[in-house]
Amino acid sequence: MELDKCLEKLYAGQLLPEPTLRALCFKLKEKLVKESNVVHVSTPITVVGDIHGQFHDLLEIFHIGGPVPDTNYLFLGDYVDRGLYSVETITLLIVLKLRYPNRIHLIRGNHESRQITQSYGFYTECLNKYGGSSRVWQYFTDLFDYLVLCCIIDNEIFCVHGGLSPNVQTIDQIRIIDRIREIPHDGAMADLVWSDPEDDVTNREDVTSVSSHFQVSPRGAGYTFGRNVVDKFLQLNGMSKIYRAHQLCNEGFQIYFDGLVTTVWSAPNYCYRCGNKASILEVYSKDEFYFNVFEEAPENKLLNNSAMSNGNFINNFFNDGMVDVFSDEYQAASATSRHVDYFL
């Protein structure tokens, strides 16, 4: 299995055959099982938020931020679902991780899950692109179980997909989580991938329990948490700030609690219709960083004129009464019209 040949095909937007994907996922599982739930990395490093299957925007990230291995990357999860090219996106990241294991790091997001991917597009995309079989989806979702839960930059910046948990006061408690499984509905592991900071959370002086500072999340999983929770977590663990993803930001990033928490969002014009900017966060040290803000890739702007339909298909499919672009009907139609080159 030649990783450089795989990369050549993937950068060209071509799919790899099922046997190759099976081997790649197995090989990466062998490497990830040896990693701790908490991985330590050093600056300089570029932090990337949600991608959500927007493959051409991932290529744009490597264009503006520098290619691997010239640039070190930390991806904060949510590689699949919503976008039209989740298979290409996650496959490229897998091969890059195998080819340059010390240059790219992948954290698990809430969408790296069997249940979520069956509802938001990835499962259907795998079926459509691989002849109706769910085996490729199974290879990917089995691999997702092995992804690490969080990362620490320079021993002082805590990085996670979602946020904090009332079940986690210390980073050592994260280290002992049994992560190699489907994301549960609740508990520490679920909270790390589902929770969000919230400026409006009320912190009451008469409350002594850490968990009392959390509020049930409107997402239906995880919690929202305020500054008191962040202050206590950072102080207890000797951290200076938190980087996370998980929330759409119109400007590509959002800063909470005077810089103690930063959200990085890396899917521009999310779902090809939200009109938002995206960013990657280039970190040089605790106090030196740069938000590299960008807009959608030129290929995405051409989607409305795609030969797969009779013009303006993205806008039409999102209108009331029309087919959803992420529905089974659309995915099936696009799969049958898309030429795929396979290689061994």
- Confidence band for 154, pLDDT divided at 50, 70 and 90: very high
Percent of the chain at pLDDT > 70 equals 84
Distance CA 238, CA 257 (A): 17
For residue 159, the tally of other CB atoms under 10 A from its CB is 27
Which among 47, 41, 106 is positioned nearest to 80, based on CA atoms? 106
- Starting at the earlier edge strand, list the strands of the sheet with 223-225: 196-197, 223-225, 214-216
CA dihedral in degrees (93, 94, 95, 100; nearest 10)? 80
Compute φ and ψ for 23, nearest 5 degrees.
Answer: -65, -40
Find the range with the poorest average confidence among 3-12, 125-134, 209-218: 209-218
β-bridge partners, 82: none
Statement: residue 320 has pLDDT above 70? no
For residue 206, the tally of other CB atoms under 10 A from its CB is 5
- Residue-level pLDDT at 16: 98
pLDDT, tens digit, 9 for 90 and up, residues 75-101: 999 999 999 999 999 999 999 999 999
Distance CA 189, CA 180 (A): 11
- Starting at the earlier edge strand, list the strands of the sheet with 278-283: 104-106, 73-75, 45-48, 278-283, 289-294
What pTM did the predictor assign?
0.87
Q: Which SS3 state, helix, strand or coil, does residue 332 take?
A: helix
pLDDT, tens digit, 9 for 90 and up, residues 163-207: 999 999 999 999 999 999 999 999 999 999 999 999 864 444 444
Whose structure tokens read 């990395």?
Answer: 41
Whose structure tokens read 């490497």?
Answer: 31
Residues 6 or more apart in contact with residue 180 via CB below 8 angstroms: 33, 145, 146
Question: Contact, 138 vs 170, CB < 8 A?
Answer: no
Q: Which of 52, 56, 105, 111 is catalytic?
A: 111
Q: Give me the mean pLDDT over the 99-117 stretch.
A: 98
37 to 111, 160, 324: CA distances (angstroms): 18, 11, 37
- Residue-level pLDDT at 200: 63
Distance CA 139, CA 23 (A): 9
Q: What is the mean pLDDT of the chain?
A: 88
Domains in the chain: boundaries: 3-337
pLDDT, tens digit, 9 for 90 and up, residues 42-54: 999 999 999 999 9
Residue-level length of the chain: 344
- Confidence band for 271, pLDDT divided at 50, 70 and 90: very high
Question: Contact, 104 vs 62, CB < 8 A?
Answer: no
Whether residue 185 lies in the annotated active site:
no
Domain 3-337, what architecture? Answer: 4-Layer Sandwich (3.60)
